[in-house]
Amino acid sequence: MCKFRNLVKNEYIKSIHRASTVVMLILVILAAIALPSLVKIVDYVDGGYSGDMDWLIDDEITYHEGGDYPYDKAYTDTLELAKSAGAESMYDWRTVALTDALGESWSYFESLVSQSEEYMKYSEAMSEYGECEESDKCLAAVNKLYDDYYSEYKASEEFKKLEAAVMSNDMKAFYDLKLEECKANMPSDASAPDYEYRFAQYELDCWFYGYLRDNNVYYSKSVDPWTSENLREYFSSEFTDLLEIYDIKSTMIDYEKKPGSLISKKEYDSAVNRLAYFNYTVEHGVEYNVADGISMENGLDFWSAFNFSTYGITFIGLLAIVVASLSVSSEFSNGTIKFLLINPVKRWKILVSKYFTVISTGYIMLAVMFVIAFLTSLIFFGGSLIGADYIKAEGGEIFVTNGLVYMIKSYLLSSVEIVVMSTLAFAVSTLMKSSAFAIGISMFCMLAGKSIVSMLAMVNQDWARYLIFANLDLRSIANGGGMFLYQTVTAAIGVIAVHMVIFWLIAWDGFTRREI
């Protein structure tokens, strides 16, 4: 054992004194610093951009004024109305309520007139971009139709009530209106085939508006993640949450009850998971999920930066290939192998000590990258989120992992690729006399292997799924993002294991039986 430690020590000394190792090491450290810094730069640039982006009604009116299309006039008209009610922003609930109502009425109008001759000609003209000589005439006709409809709509009882609620800035009255509208839509024909679905949907709608009214939630669109602080008054996370619940439940009802539903099993499962996740966050008062930071969809933070560093693991892969190739082939190309092997150590022991050195170098590099990326992210984004959990819903169940533990797992999953590539490089280098050739072949495999396999996947060469390069990205495969259909982690590990055994046998045979 003591002897083995000495052998490994020798290998480390030789490795660290090679210029190539030092250069690659510096590259790894630079990558570990640069990647989180890049996230910080993006955060800085984008953060400055979305600083005070309010969406003003005036801008919107200027943009749509004098438009040719039927909707334009009604739209600016509605915006003027919102303005006269005192709203300035497109995000104001009054603007949203009025434009929503207009949108609904437009859809209704479209369904009403869609069978009319003028409208059909119009849409034909629109779709063929003015090839119809009469397009102006058609447009005028539709405009006329819509003008009539719009005056009718504005004169309607419902609109009057909506207008009154908006003008008096009475959100509760607005919710009452919505609720009333819902209740009026209660399905009555219990014998209809989709009765169950419609009834469930009706219940959901009523619950939604009832909840909004009872809790006086600010009515808005869903929150844009990049929204800056000074727009927050227009958005409430409560509304966003409710909208999320509404969306989830609506999807589930559709899948469960609607005859001939278009919702797929995958979408349904995702809805189930979203619901489980939502319930969990409410129940445990979760304010932040590491997964959000990693996805970078809700802004950039410590975890976005930290997780971004995993892209640098490729550098470690390159380093490992260089270390692995040189470990064996440089002994041959420099002639030192003769001095190494006339010592009272069996060849396989030397091989194992070299392999151990190569693999452990890879893991030391991973640890170095982990620590440096952690510190860099910490410096740029502060440590307020460090204790956060990674929460994930799968199969309707919630899995909670500490954020740091999750990152360690991520790094370890990525390390599989490093181990496989260095083993390949190791096997190749036992067969080659030239270091350059050994490095070249292994690098080529690492860089070209994946593209070749994804090309094979594109042309439906299904056998390529058994190639090692289709199975290395365990993180993607675990998340269902493999190159081939129905790839599983178990199968991938199987393919990797078979290849590893082959590489080991080649290295073993090549090294222990080689004539020197």
Partner 1 sequence: MSETMISTAPEKRAAVSIKDLNKTIGKRHILHDITFDAYEGEVFGFLGPNGAGKTTTIKMIVGLLSIDSGEVSICGNNVVKNFEKAMNNVGGIVENPEMYKNLTGYQNLWHYGRMRSGITKERIDEVAELVGLTNRINEKISKYSLGMRQRLGVAQSILHHPKVLILDEPTNGLDPAGIKDLRDILKNLAHKEGVCVIVSSHLMSEMELMCDRVGVISKGVMLGVYSIADLLAASEGETEDYVIRTNDSVKTLSLLSGYNASCNENGDVELILPKESDNAGIADVNKMLIENGVLLYTVSLKPKKKLEDVFIEMTSNEQEGGQIV
Q: Is 299 left (phi over 0), alpha (psi -120 to 50) or beta?
A: left
191 is a site residue for partner 1 (CB under 8 A): no
How many Å apart are CA 327 and CA 330, to the nearest integer?
Answer: 6
SS3 of residue 389 by DSSP: strand
Q: How many residues bind partner 1 (CB under 8 A)?
A: 24
In the bound state with partner 1, the residue whose beta carbon lies nearer, of 126 and 341, is: 341
Contact string 496-515 vs partner 1 (x = CB under 8 A): -----------------x-x
Cβ-contact 328, 511 below 8 angstroms: yes
Please state, as a whole number, how many other Cβ atoms lie within 10 Å of the Cβ of residue 447: 12
Which residues, 243 to 302, sit near partner 1 by CB under 8 A? none
| Residue of 358, 397, 92 lying closest to 233 (CA atoms) | 92
Structure tokens, 185: 């839509």
**478 neighbors 413 (Cβ within 8 angstroms):** yes
Q: Quick one: which of 1, 13, 458, 485 contacts partner 1 (CB under 8 A)?
A: 13
> How near is the Cβ of 345 to partner 1 at its closest, in Å?
6
Q: What is the largest CA-CA distance in the chain?
A: 103
- Nearest distance in Å: CB 311, partner 1: 32
Q: Which of 504, 349, 346 lies closest to 11, judged by CA?
A: 349
> What is the Cα gyration radius of the chain?
32
Nearest to 157 by CA among 165, 148, 145, 146: 165
Site string for partner 1, 333-372 (x = CB under 8 A): -xxx-xx-xxxxxx--------------------------
Q: 226 vs 356, which CB is nearer to partner 1?
A: 356
Stretch that binds partner 1, among 48-56, 299-307, 328-336, 394-402 (CB under 8 A): 328-336
Q: 261 and 374 in contact (C-beta within 8 Å)?
A: no
Q: Which is nearer to partner 1, 127 or 343 (CB)?
A: 343
Q: Is 335 helix (H, G, I), strand (E, B) or coil?
A: coil
Which range, of 8-16, 199-207, 246-254, 370-378, touches partner 1 by CB under 8 A? 8-16
Residue 314: name the closest of 417, 445, 452 by CA.
417
Residues 372 and 31: beta-carbon distance below 8 Å: no
> Under rule CB under 8 A, which residues in 35-94 are in contact with partner 1?
none
Q: Closer to partner 1 by CB, 343 or 490: give it.
A: 343
Range in contact with partner 1 (rule: CB under 8 A) among 3-11, 91-99, 397-405, 470-478 = 3-11
Q: Which of 281, 206, 286 is nearest to 249 (CA)?
A: 206
Nearer to partner 1, 334 or 384 (CB): 334
Name every residue whose Cβ is closer than 8 Å to that of residue 473 and which is 6 or more positions away in sequence: 417, 481, 482
Determine if 516 is a binding residue for partner 1 (CB under 8 A).
Answer: yes
Shortest distance, CB of residue 339 to partner 1, whole angstroms? 7
Task: Compare residues 19 and 190 and give the one whose CB is closer to partner 1.
Answer: 19
Site for partner 1 contains 489 (CB under 8 A): no
Name the residue type at position 457. Answer: A
What's the full length of the chain, in residues? 516
Comparing CB distances to partner 1, the nearer of 3 and 172 is: 3
Q: Give the nearer residue to partner 1 in terms of CB position, either 5 or 409.
A: 5
Q: Does the protein bind partner 1 through residue 493 (CB under 8 A)? A: no
Q: Does 6 bind partner 1 (CB under 8 A)?
A: yes
CA 354 from chain centre, in angstroms, equals: 40
- Candidate segments 163-171, 267-275, 331-339, 497-505, binder of partner 1 by CB under 8 A: 331-339
Q: How far is the CB of 6 from partner 1 (least distance, A)?
A: 4
Residues of the shown chain interacting with partner 1 in the complex, contacts defined by CB under 8 A = 3, 6-7, 9-10, 13-14, 17-19, 334-336, 338-339, 341-346, 513, 515-516
